[in-house]
Amino acid sequence: MTETALDWQRLHDLRPADFEAAGNRWHAVSSRAGADALRVGQAMSAQLRETQRGDAATAALRRLRRLHRNLDYVRTECGLVRTTLNGLAADLAEPQRQLRLALDEAAELGFTVHPDGSITYPASTVHTLLGPQDTPAGQAAPRAALPLDLPHSSLDSSLRPLNPHADRAQALADRIARAVRAAAEVDARYTRTLNGLRAAKGLDITAATLRDVRRDTADVRHAASAYLAADVPFDATPAERKAWWDALTDEQRQEFLRIAPDLVGNLDGIPAAARDQANRAYLPTLIEELAGRHDDASQTKLEALRLLQARLNQPGGLPMYLLGIGDEGNGRAIVAYGNPDTSRNVAAYVPGLGTALDADFVEDTMVRAEDTAIGARDVDPSSAAIIWLGYDAPQSADVMSTGDAERGAPAYSRFISGLVATNEKSDPHVTAIGHSYGSLTVGTAARQTNGIPGVDDVVLLGSPGVGVDRAEDLGVGREHVFVGAAENDPVTRLPTKEEFALAGPAAFIYGDVYDRGDDDIYFGKDPASAAFGAHRFKVDPGPAPVLEMGGFDAHSQYFTPSLDSESASNIARVVGGRPGKITLEDRR
Amino acid sequence: MGQQAVHHHSGSPSVPLLQHSRGPWTSASATAAELHTSTANGRNTLRPAHDPLTAWVGLTAPAALLTVLTSWEERLAAIRDECDHLSGALRQVAVHLGEVDTATGTSLKAVPVPTSAGTATR
């Protein structure tokens, strides 16, 4: 070992708290720069109001802008240094702990640990069948390799018994060596990260500078990932997560939101504003990742995310909250129109057949939630509506099964629990909306023992069946179940699986299987039927699939006022808390 | 806007801090002067916090950290100095645009006094 390499004594003497203390200073500088940047921003905006400035003033203004960017740069990078130091301190703690445990054991056994990591053990007496035998003292040399890579201690070829201390000493020497090696690995990893955090020279902030900052953020996120993720309550309930988030200091929250937004952005139970901030911060990272992959699925999601980003940045319209974003499966996106935490009425809509994170999702599916929010706010201004794509919906009618709904239902329930946990009203009015296959997802969640905790009303639109035969099995009481089914919506008339198998998909729409006159459909009782017993509200019949070449159009217009104002109004009435005002339709 | 009190910041009589009736350029100049101080102070607190780390042998991170520290001390020094220069430049603009009377340091906007030349402020 060289003079300056890490050895066990140096590891033993390390005080990780020294790194944290230095980190606090970096944080103070970062924080101060952030506050100063705000002040410069305010100073600049006053100047911008003036129209006639002249050259000197224009030049001064340019320098103010540069100063503003510099302060932002300080705030971000010094914050990264602080997180790096905290991560380093945290990651060194475990090897140090392992070392101390080993040293304590050695001391208890009366072994001597030498500076080079070897361990001497005393002589011992072994009781054998031939009587007590003396075994001499010895020394175990450290081996840093992992246990499985090491040969078993070789048997002494002579018949003399081994000193029982030998194996224990060897094990301890190995543990000490491994602890040192682990600490050295941590040190090397963080040294690499620190090397990237040097300030650029001068006062310029260029596009290259900003790229460096993004790369540094990703680096630190990666290097300090164990530290950052350590306290995040992934396995807790939404209510517990809310309590955890509330108990964090503002700077702890900022650390997550700036450096590891992906850890908290999708956590049900984190307040909407924080999730929104986290996911908006994470969105460019996700876009960049997808841009680097060239398969079709990634490109589709990439297109969707770019469109989504543009929409989020568009001024005007209802306030949007990005509550979730991800590229797993067919993609994940949860978008609220209106603030779900401050609204008295909150609806969460589960889309169905054919939905995935693609351009259509942003340009069409999301708009349905927006329309619902606008309509509901006419009924009660304190309303918000959410599109929840938190599962993989089936992509075609041919391959529909209950599996996707069964996988999506628990996630949806957890999401609703999160809404309830973070909503600031004492008793928010929550509506679950399931459209198409999404109604089966909602139904699957709702038919569980306690229903979907927190949901007051259920709206089922264009449903192929919800997995139960009666409205009262959905956990809210049949008075609180509302169904919209357009006469010409083929999805609401899908035959049962048996009939489907006989007739085939094309035949059922275009052939005489279409109108069968019974109320059993693909996933159970038709929710629009008298037997199911829900409220059925009026919707436009929609264009006939064959005669008017409407195809599946009647399936897709429930939310859209310009295409089906009756349906959109009725949905709004339920969501906005005025179900008594819906216009009723005879059940089938 | 009533009275203007003129307080000269001790140690830098060339940069009066006006308590009332400041125009935006004068105000920005004062802000830059304050940032000059706060940046200097923040910068000075960094190195002492790293003293315990210099005793650490065997790790490479402390040395890397000290290099990072040096680089940021330089950057913060550059920002500190820029704040100082910018404060002066902004004050020049304030004068140039007629926000401030160089002789008295009072805000011209606050005391509209018609003069024989017809200008509204003095």
Interface confidence, given as ipTM, is: 0.77
As a whole number, the mean pLDDT across chain A is 90
Nearest-by-CA chain B residue for A5: B58
Can you give the residue range of the structural domain that contains B31?
Answer: 22-101
Confidence of residue B60 (pLDDT cuts 50, 70, 90): very high
Chain B closest CA to A202's CA: distance in Å?
7
In angstroms, the CA A163 to CA A159 distance is: 13
Amino acid at A255: E
Cβ–Cβ contact A188 with B under 8 A: yes
Amino acid at A79: G
In angstroms, the CA B95 to CA B108 distance is: 10
Query: CB A29 to CB B42 under 8 A?
Result: yes
In angstroms, the CA A268 to CA A238 distance is: 5
Q: Which residues of A touch B89 (CB under 8 A)?
A: 56, 59-60, 63
Nearest-by-CA chain B residue for A190: B61
DSSP state of B50: G
Q: Is A549 helix (H, G, I), strand (E, B) or coil?
A: coil
Residues paired with A429 in a beta bridge:
A345
DSSP state of A45: H
Cβ–Cβ contact B42 with A under 8 A: yes
From B28, B71, B79, residue closest to A198, measured CB to CB:
B71
pLDDT at B19: 41
Count how many residues are written for chain B.
Answer: 122
Mutual orientation of helices A207-223 and A250-259 as an angle, nearest 10°? 110
Query: CB A32 to CB B38 under 8 A?
Result: yes
Nearest-by-CA chain B residue for A45: B24
Work out how many CB contacts closer than 8 A connect A with B.
147
With a cut of 50, say whether residue A159 has pLDDT above it.
yes
The B residues from 68 to 107 touching A (CB cutoff 8 Å) are: 68, 71-72, 74-76, 78-79, 82-83, 86, 89-90, 92-93, 96-97
With a cut of 60, say whether residue A108 has pLDDT above it.
yes
pLDDT at B121: 42
Confidence of residue A158 (pLDDT cuts 50, 70, 90): low
DSSP state of A1: -
Q: For chain B, where are the alpha helices, taking DSSP H only? A: 24-46, 51-54, 61-96
pLDDT at A154: 53
Q: For residue B85, is it within any domain?
A: yes
The predicted model gives A375-389 an average pLDDT of 98
Provide the number of structural domains found in chain B: 1
Cβ–Cβ contact B117 with A under 8 A: no
Q: For residue B6, is it within any domain?
A: no
Q: For residue B83, is it within any domain?
A: yes
From A11, A36, A63, residue closest to B89, measured CB to CB:
A63
Amino acid at A73: Y
From B57, B74, B96, residue closest to A10, measured CB to CB:
B57
Q: For residue B110, is it within any domain?
A: no
Q: Is B99 helix (H, G, I), strand (E, B) or coil?
A: coil
Pick the range with the lowest mean pLDDT from A40-44, A70-74, A132-136, A497-501: A497-501
In angstroms, the CA A379 to CA B102 distance is: 61
Cβ–Cβ contact A19 with B under 8 A: yes
Q: For residue B49, is it within any domain?
A: yes
DSSP state of A353: T
Q: For residue B89, is it within any domain?
A: yes
DSSP state of A268: B
Q: For residue B57, is it within any domain?
A: yes
Q: For residue B97, is it within any domain?
A: yes
Residues paired with B100 in a beta bridge:
B107
With a cut of 70, say whether residue A359 has pLDDT above it.
yes
Confidence of residue A55 (pLDDT cuts 50, 70, 90): confident
Alpha-carbon torsion angle A546, A548, A551, A554, nearest 10: -130
User: In sequence order, which residues have a C-beta less than 8 Å from that of residue A41 and are 6 or more positions away?
Assistant: A68
Cβ–Cβ contact B30 with A under 8 A: no
